Amino acid sequence: MSESGSNSSNVQQGMQKQKQNPFEFSHDKILDDVYRTHFHCLEKCDVASLHTVASNVLNQSMDITHKVIAKGEQLMDRFREDTTTITSQQLAAKLKRIAYLMICTPRGEYPVHCTTMLILEQLKHYSWDAKVLIVEAAFALEYGKFLYLLPLIAPCQQFESSFADLHGLLMVPQNTKQLIDFNSVVKKVMKVVECITQWKKLNSEGHDLRDVPTLPETLQEIPVLVYWTIFTFVTCTGEINHFIDNKYQRHELWTDLENKLDTILGKLNELLKKCINEIERIEDFTRRKNIVTHGRDIVKVLKALIICGDNRDLRQSVYYVGHTEEQVKVEEFKKKYVLLFISGLENIKEDIKVLNSINEKLKESREVENHRSEDFKILWIPIVDEWNEERRKKLEINLRDTKFGWYVVKYFNCETSLKLIKEVFNYEGKHIIPLINPQGKVENIDAKQIISQWGIDGFPFRTSDQSRLSQQWKWFWSEITKFNPAIEHLSEEEDCFLFIYGGSNTKWVEEFTTAMESLRKEVENTNLDSNIVIESYQLDSKVVTRFWIAIDSLLTRRKQVKGGERVKEFATNETIKRLLFLKQDPKGWGILSKGKNVRLLGHGEAMCRTVKEFETWRDKLHELSFDVAFTDHYKGIKDKDGSKKCEENVICYGHPTDIVERITCPKKDCRRPMKVTSVNYKCCHQQGQ
């Protein structure tokens, strides 16, 4: 091909290229083209100071144009910078080179695009924010220098006026409409620069990107934003010299450029807002977690757990639900122990039954190691993914039908609080009941097991109480399984209600056995929300005698308990004595346990009546667990017993030296010390009757 043909081809290619419009480029194309110019950030500059200086120059430059447009007094003061010098010789030279490239760029989308890509190539070793700030500074260099001469138009010395005339500034006041459009674009691109520097600041704070996912999402947009920011500065710089033309016409590019900047600002502001919201949630979560994990007050801990946003009035979310609903303040829990019932709305009826019985028993005065029952309150936090109409209705039905007499956080819907509950209490959707003391410390991360297994006997529901209660009956199961190992399997079932019974009165034993069979069938035929498993085991007459001898021997062996062990074993010894009192019942006796939790040591007559009178207390099973309902009815029978005579419970030992300690009368309204006569325990209260 000839040289002339080659040149012609190059010209045609160049003309073809000039037809390319970057406004028609796809987002991905710009992203790919720009990212290819970006390398590791090897070069550094003081971006904060550079941004301050450039912004000052541009803002004051626009102040000058506003005064020229308004034909006000001429600005004669020179720019004064309060910032320190930040431009090194190398950076200053770079700014001038970039400014020269921009000022020499002709009008048109494609020439501006080419200059933009060339600048990006020259700044390839700078960070994304540094790229735009350097170009902003280069634009400020030209725009500020240009407008710095405008005050010379005012009548003054001949030299200054002539100098301004040589720069063509006498035409500028005639192009005020164009200056307004120009400044509008400059202001918008400066807002984009502010957003990019704000993103950089947020990205440099060291947040875990898993907690602030919008930060990396924004990074996917930054290269394109940088491209259009530099594109705008190149366009504006190249436009400066056109202001001295008395035939200056507004460039059609301004409309496309303003629309592009508006789109960029809208999207970038939305992303930054999401970033800030995510960071605020992290900070809010950290603050709340510090309160919950290091809190010294139960009220502050509860507020940190259930408060949402800036809403400090919690009366709208916490309710006391009894016969009526009443809004309450969190201060209601001040100086109280709080059982937090954290659950969904599904499969909670059994838990509510247990908590109902606990709540009723807490109203009875009891004290264990300085823990008083009146200092305990129950707070329910129901958690769902979304409180739609169906779930709201389901909660209201639960509250209306149950009337449980404790507290509830209605429509709990705080994302930060839910995350806190999951992290602090290991909540994963399965119902839990943490116990928090008045100082806001967690005493039991989940008291559900001890409450379900031991009921009110587990009071005050600390982690240590589980061990205490397990030891309290360990001796019993150890002894009784020696006579029948099959009982061990039954007792291992935590949801199984086991009756162990026996006696010297054959008629009573047969009557109780028949009543138990009838009870089991009636319970199976009762329409309940959960399945109740009832098992029974009779100790025959031969086994009964050996069983009581074994228990007598066990108590004797414990007589030499010393020091701290004495305190630990005292409750167990008391329990053994309570059991030994049953063997004197002339009819028989029965023991009810839930799993290995012995719930009731019952005398023959009252036990048999309770079993037979199931129809009387059947309906309570809709509100209370089986063991609680059974025990309540049994105690009601005992309380209605008109006999006030104390029982003559006799425990025989081989020798007076085998006596462990004094025993109090088991009668509820007596509880006086029993007189020791020889090797027998007898209540001395009867001597006064």
Q: What pLDDT digit, counting tens, does each position of 506-547 carry?
A: 999 999 999 999 999 998 888 776 788 899 999 887 788 888
Q: What is the pLDDT of residue 624?
A: 81
Q: Rounded distance, CA 502 to CA 437, Å?
A: 43
Q: What is the pLDDT of residue 152?
A: 46
Q: What is the pLDDT of residue 566?
A: 47
Q: Rounded distance, CA 23 to CA 26, Å?
A: 8
Q: Is the pLDDT of residue 132 over 50?
A: yes
pLDDT digits (tens, 9 = 90+) for 420-451: 999 999 999 899 999 999 999 999 999 998 88
Q: Is the pLDDT of residue 112 over 70?
A: yes
What's 644's DSSP letter?
-
The answer to whether residues 49 and 169 belong to one domain is yes
Q: What is the pLDDT of residue 650?
A: 47
Q: Rounded distance, CA 477 to CA 480, Å?
A: 5
Tell me whether residue 130 is in a domain.
yes
Residue 124, domain extent = 22-72+81-282
The answer to whether residues 243 and 136 belong to one domain is yes
More confident position, 312 or 489: 489
The amino acid that residue 358 corresponds to is I
Tell me whether residue 569 is in a domain.
yes
User: Taking Cα atoms as reference points, which of 620, 358, 597 lies closest to residue 495?
Assistant: 597
Highest mean pLDDT: which range of 327-336, 350-359, 519-528: 327-336
Q: Rounded distance, CA 317 to CA 302, Å?
A: 12
The count of other CB atoms within 10 Å of the CB of residue 64 is 20
User: Taking Cα atoms as reference points, which of 207, 217, 216 lies closest to residue 279?
Assistant: 207
Percent of the chain past pLDDT 90, that is, above it, reads 25
Q: Is the pLDDT of residue 78 over 60?
A: no
Average pLDDT, the chain: 78
More confident position, 155 or 616: 616
Over residues 213-234, mean pLDDT: 90
Over residues 327-333, mean pLDDT: 89
Q: What are phi and psi of 436, to 5 degrees?
A: -120, 130
The answer to whether residues 579 and 450 belong to one domain is no
443-451: long-range contacts, CB 8 A cutoff, minimum separation 24: 443/337, 447/339, 448/351, 451/339, 451/354, 451/355, 451/358
Sign, CA dihedral 265-268-274-275, equals: negative
Q: What is the pLDDT of residue 655?
A: 44
The answer to whether residues 528 and 431 belong to one domain is no
The answer to whether residues 399 and 510 belong to one domain is no
Q: Is the pLDDT of residue 174 over 70?
A: no
Q: Is the pLDDT of residue 460 over 90?
A: yes
Tell me whether residue 234 is in a domain.
yes
The answer to whether residues 471 and 610 belong to one domain is yes
If one counts the domains in the chain, the total is 3
Over residues 142-150, mean pLDDT: 70
SS3 labels along 441-482: CEEECCCHHHHHHHHHHHCCCCHHHHHHHHHHHHHHHHHHCC
3 state SS of 565: helix
Task: Identify whether the C-beta of residue 119 lies closer than 8 Å to the C-beta of residue 227.
Answer: no
pLDDT class for 266, splitting at 50, 70, 90? very high
Over residues 485-493, mean pLDDT: 78
Cα maximum dimension of the chain: 139
The answer to whether residues 46 and 116 belong to one domain is yes
Task: Identify whether the C-beta of residue 658 lies closer than 8 Å to the C-beta of residue 559.
Answer: yes
Percent of the chain past pLDDT 70, that is, above it, reads 72
Tell me whether residue 635 is in a domain.
yes
Tell me whether residue 653 is in a domain.
no
pLDDT class for 50, splitting at 50, 70, 90? low
Tell me whether residue 287 is in a domain.
no
Q: Rounded distance, CA 452 to CA 454, Å?
A: 6
The answer to whether residues 363 and 268 belong to one domain is no
**Among the three residues 282, 312, 345, which one is the final residue of a domain in this structure?**
282
Highest mean pLDDT: which range of 181-185, 642-646, 655-659: 181-185
User: Taking Cα atoms as reference points, which of 419, 473, 466, 474 lies closest to residue 446?
Assistant: 466
Return the minimum-mean-pLDDT range out of 323-332, 467-476, 665-674.
665-674
Burial annotation 249-262 (CB, 10 A radius, 16+ → b, else e): eebebbeebbebbe
Q: pTM of the predicted model, to two decimals?
A: 0.67
Q: Which residues pair with 143 in a beta bridge?
A: none
3 state SS of 84: coil
The answer to whether residues 258 and 370 belong to one domain is no
Sign, CA dihedral 19-21-24-26, equals: positive
pLDDT digits (tens, 9 = 90+) for 20-49: 777 777 777 777 777 677 666 556 666 666
SS3 labels along 417-443: HHHHHHHHHCCCCCCECCEECCCCCEE
The answer to whether residues 615 and 537 belong to one domain is yes
Q: What is the pLDDT of residue 92?
A: 79
Q: What is the pLDDT of residue 172?
A: 55
The answer to whether residues 556 and 582 belong to one domain is yes
Q: What is the pLDDT of residue 644?
A: 45
More confident position, 572 or 408: 408
More confident position, 461 or 670: 461
Tell me whether residue 647 is in a domain.
no
The answer to whether residues 61 and 195 belong to one domain is yes
What's 85's DSSP letter?
P
For residue 365, give every residue at least 6 positions away whose Cβ sits within 8 Å of its Cβ, in sequence order, or none. Answer: 372, 373, 374
Sign, CA dihedral 616-621-626-627, equals: negative
